[in-house]
């Protein structure tokens, strides 16, 4: 079978170079339109600065509006004895997603280990959106009192305060991290921080006993690298950068802040990113503080 160089040479015998240049330019101009839709995932070998200013991120009115519109259906999906396989970013009326149920029930296990049911449990949900995990917590542990704080971006926080007035919402990093919590969780959020290692250190400082990272895209054999995700297929008019984080780098970062790994969780999410040095799998990690509470308690 001929290699790529041979194929290009053969094509050049019949197609003028100027025609190839025109096609390439036209393809770039049409990329992202209905004629030539962009791929959802893109590997960025240049790292976090590669896309320039064309990435809108998460603090977008369209994203918040969709979450608000889905909220009534999301709450209804938690009622009754049915399964909790609810993908709150997708169709909240669908309750039979096995991967989602795995994530929700893993969260329930973490809450129990952290002390749910044995008195008020203080929780910091970093990147908690409009409070979906707080709603899960109340269903999973209906007899438990929670002192629940969601940290997110300003637009999401404003919406969360309207939807869940009994939950504390913060859009300022310092205010959210000024306290000490029984459990700090980061679900599908750590990867969106440019300096995720520094954020791990701050989250660990706020965790008196447990730190739970979940729905995290992880790789095993290559260093952490950056990707771009376009969320158009989910109705979100935005795109954002994120890390595929090396599993060993993550564990070392958390354990270096005085924690030990208690349990690892498998989640069945495996996106395909063209040209990436390694395809990721999504997972979760529960860490416990070694030898007492955080230095913030001193």
Instruction: State the average pLDDT for the chain.
Output: 88
Q: Rounded distance, CA 260 to CA 111, Å?
A: 17
Q: Tell me, yes or no, whether 16 and 145 share the same domain.
A: no
**Residue 97 and residue 60 share a domain:** yes
Residues 6+ apart with CB under 8 A from 125: 131, 133, 134, 148, 149, 150, 151, 185, 187
Shared-domain flag, residues 113 and 178: yes
In a shared domain, residues 104 and 25: no
Same domain for 8 and 128:
no
31 shares its domain with 131 = no
187/232 same-domain check: yes
* Residues 173 and 273 grouped into a single domain: yes
Residues 46-67 as b/e (b if ≥16 CB within 10 A, e otherwise) read: eeeeeeeeeeeebbbeebbebb
**pTM given for the model:** 0.85
Could you tell me the CATH number of the domain that includes residue 197? 3.40.50.150
> Could you tell me the two tokens for 287?
């860490």
The per-residue pLDDT for range 81-115, each reduced to its tens digit, is 999 998 887 777 788 999 899 999 999 999 999 99
- pLDDT (tens digit per residue) in 210-253: 999 999 999 999 999 999 999 998 888 999 999 999 999 999 99
Q: Domain span at residue 169?
A: 44-297
Q: What is the pLDDT of residues 162-180, one digit of tens each?
A: 999 999 999 999 999 999 9
3 with 149, same domain? no
Q: C-alpha 166: how far from its chain's center?
A: 24
What integer pLDDT is reported at residue 11 of this predicted model?
46
3-state secondary structure labels for all residues of 228-247? EEECHHHCCCCEEEEEEEEH
């Amino acid at each position: 079978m001929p290699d790529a160089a041979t194929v290009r040479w053969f094509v050049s015998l019949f197609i003028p170079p100027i025609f190839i240049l025109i096609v390439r330019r036209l393809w770039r101009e049409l990329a992202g339109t209905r004629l030539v839709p962009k791929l959802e995932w893109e590997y960025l070998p240049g790292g976090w600065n590669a896309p320039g200013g064309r990435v809108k991120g998460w603090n977008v009115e369209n994203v918040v509006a969709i979450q608000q519109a889905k909220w009534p259906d999301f709450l209804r999906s938690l009622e009754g004895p049915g399964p909790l396989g609810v993908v709150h970013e997708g169709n909240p009326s669908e309750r039979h997603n096995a991967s989602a149920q795995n994530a929700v029930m893993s969260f329930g296990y973490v809450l129990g280990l952290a002390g749910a049911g044995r008195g008020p449990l203080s929780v910091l949900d970093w990147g908690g959106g409009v409070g979906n995990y707080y709603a899960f917590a109340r269903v999973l542990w209906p007899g438990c009192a929670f002192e629940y704080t969601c940290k997110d971006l300003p637009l999401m926080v404003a919406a969360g305060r309207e939807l869940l007035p009994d939950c504390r919402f913060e859009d300022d990093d310092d205010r959210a991290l000024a306290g000490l919590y029984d459990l700090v969780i980061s679900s599908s959020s750590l990867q969106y921080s440019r300096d995720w290692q520094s954020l791990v250190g701050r989250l660990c400082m706020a965790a008196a006993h447990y730190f739970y990272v979940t729905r995290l895209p992880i790789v095993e054999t290559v260093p952490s690298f950056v990707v771009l995700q376009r969320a158009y297929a989910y109705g979100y008019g935005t795109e954002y950068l994120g890390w595929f984080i090396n599993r060993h780098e993550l564990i070392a970062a958390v354990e270096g802040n005085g924690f030990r790994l208690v349990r690892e969780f498998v989640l069945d999410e495996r996106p395909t990113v063209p040209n990436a040095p390694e395809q990721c799998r999504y997972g979760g990690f529960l860490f416990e503080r070694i030898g007492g509470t955080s230095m913030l308690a001193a």
